[in-house]
Amino acid sequence: MGRADQTTKVRGMFVTPKQVSEILRRHPEIIKARLVVAGATGNDSMTLRCEVKNAGETLKPALVASIRDVTKLRGDIEFVPAGSLPNDGKVIDDTRKYD
């Protein structure tokens, strides 16, 4: 069992799809994005995978700052080719394993 929504806990803080939407709203260059949460217990990491129109040199640092500002957590950025993110409605993908 677990949560019915996509809200997930990262390093003791909740991250919601609404927060991801706020990050995307601040950067209109992003076509589609997905926040991937990975890592072992107690060693969580967040990566925002983005399909972008124009990935200028200032976009990556601006996204890192927006993630920090909105979620109060550190996150990485990964630019992916257009069309590579699945169109399944997920905004947050928690890939951690709980054994």
**CATH topology classification for 8-94:** GMP Synthetase; Chain A, domain 3 (3.30.300)
pLDDT, tens digit, for every residue of 17-62?
A: 999 999 999 999 999 999 999 987 678 899 999 999 887 889 999 9
pTM: 0.87
pLDDT at 3 over 60: no
Q: How far is CA 19 from the centre of its chain?
A: 9
How many Cβ atoms from other residues are within 10 Å of residue 51's Cβ? 18
pLDDT, tens digit, for every residue of 67-78?
A: 999 999 999 999
Distances (CA, A) of 1 to 13, 32, 43, 66: 20, 29, 22, 32
Find the mean pLDDT for residues 89-96: 89
